[in-house]
Amino acid sequence: MILSPLAVVLLGLSAVEAALTYKGVDWSSVTVEEKAGVSYKTSNGNAQPLERILADSGVNTVRQRIWVNPSGGNYNLAYNIALAKRAKAAGLGVYLDLHYSDTWADPAHQSIPSGWPTAVDDLAWKLYNYTLDVANQFQSANVQPSIISIGNEITAGLLWPTGKTSSWGNIARLLHSASAGIKDSKLSPKPKIMIHLDNGWNWATQNNWYTNVLKQGTLLPSDFDMMGVSFYPFYSSSATLANLKTSLTNMGNAWGKELVVAETDWPVSCPSPSQAFPADARSIPYSAEGQSTWMKNVASVVAGVKGGVGLFYWEPAWVHNANLGSSCANNCMFANSGAALASMDVFKSI
């Protein structure tokens, strides 16, 4: 069969779009929402468990954050094992996001869990054993995660003050211990180990961080398999798709790891953004259609770079926290009623 030039181009695009191994969402808050009375529905209004809606929409992996000893228990280990069992029963892979804190860990917050030591030797040992225990408990529950992230958005370090970026040697030591906890666990098969930073569009940030931590010699290249990044359009006008492509391309060439956009989202309502949106995204509407366009555009960047394997939408179903931490009013892929928006089907095409 002889294909027309247009058909060849379309086939090429399809190959790129289908190249992502991990197509997912963070669904950490589903149990919280269900306890608050949310009942999730398909776009046609049929009530179904969220995991079934996600799977039917093309999602193949769900991301879950784990806090060490949170007040009230939400997001702790038991919470996450129960949630992961639901995911596995629906045929979904699980990506564990270890925050190594009793609450949010991000570039502005990385507090050592209550009762953990602060001296680096003792802290590294505690971190190893905690990570080992989490991994072994998941194996005992017969849930084998596909990915485990050792820390969340650790651009400014982790387990402060011991692991701040003023102490690159401590960061390297702690991450090596965390990785060893996974490698020494009973998990079989072993998951991919990820390091996750924010501002994935900023090559200077990524280059500075990895160069500094790896030159310590303690964190080995073999200690991790993936580099994850957060990429949000509403925190900086410099967060262009072009800059993301440059950053990921350079990361892939420099370190040869698998690359994942671990967090992103797009608004359906944003009347008063605190920052100007990036120039190459300003034509995208604030709507479900805009969410689909954004995800396809980001997926195209990830799939088109060396090592690009995955894309995750952050908390699309957290309808009681619809702004998702941004200055936009609503970034969810579900309506307040719990019904899925049309944008959920984008995962079938990325």
Contact call for residues 26 and 63 (beta carbons, < 8 A): yes
- Which of 33, 51, 258, 263 does the annotation list as catalytic? 263
Annotated active-site residue in 33, 51, 153, 315 = 153
Measured in whole angstroms, the distance separating CA 295 from the mean position of its chain's CA atoms is 14
Strands 308-313 and 147-150 come out as unpaired
The count of residues in the chain is 350
CB 202 within 8 A of CB 155: no
- For the record, the structure tokens of 51 come out as 């995991």
Q: Cα angle vertex 215, ends 134, 110, to 5°?
A: 40
Q: How far apart are CA 41 and CA 25, in angstroms?
A: 17
| Residues paired with 193 in a beta bridge | 148
Does the annotation count 263 as an active-site position? Answer: yes
271: exposed, middle or buried (Cβ count in 10 Å: 0-12, 13-18, 19+): exposed
Q: How far apart are CA 277 and CA 281, in angstroms?
A: 7
With a CB cutoff of 8 Å and minimum separation 6, the contacts of 192 are 146, 147, 148, 225, 226, 258
**Residue 330: beta bridge partners?**
269
Q: What are phi and psi of 235, to 5 degrees?
A: -105, -15
Measured in whole angstroms, the distance separating CA 110 from the mean position of its chain's CA atoms is: 17
Cis amide bond preceding 189, omega within 30: yes
Catalytic machinery residues: 153, 263
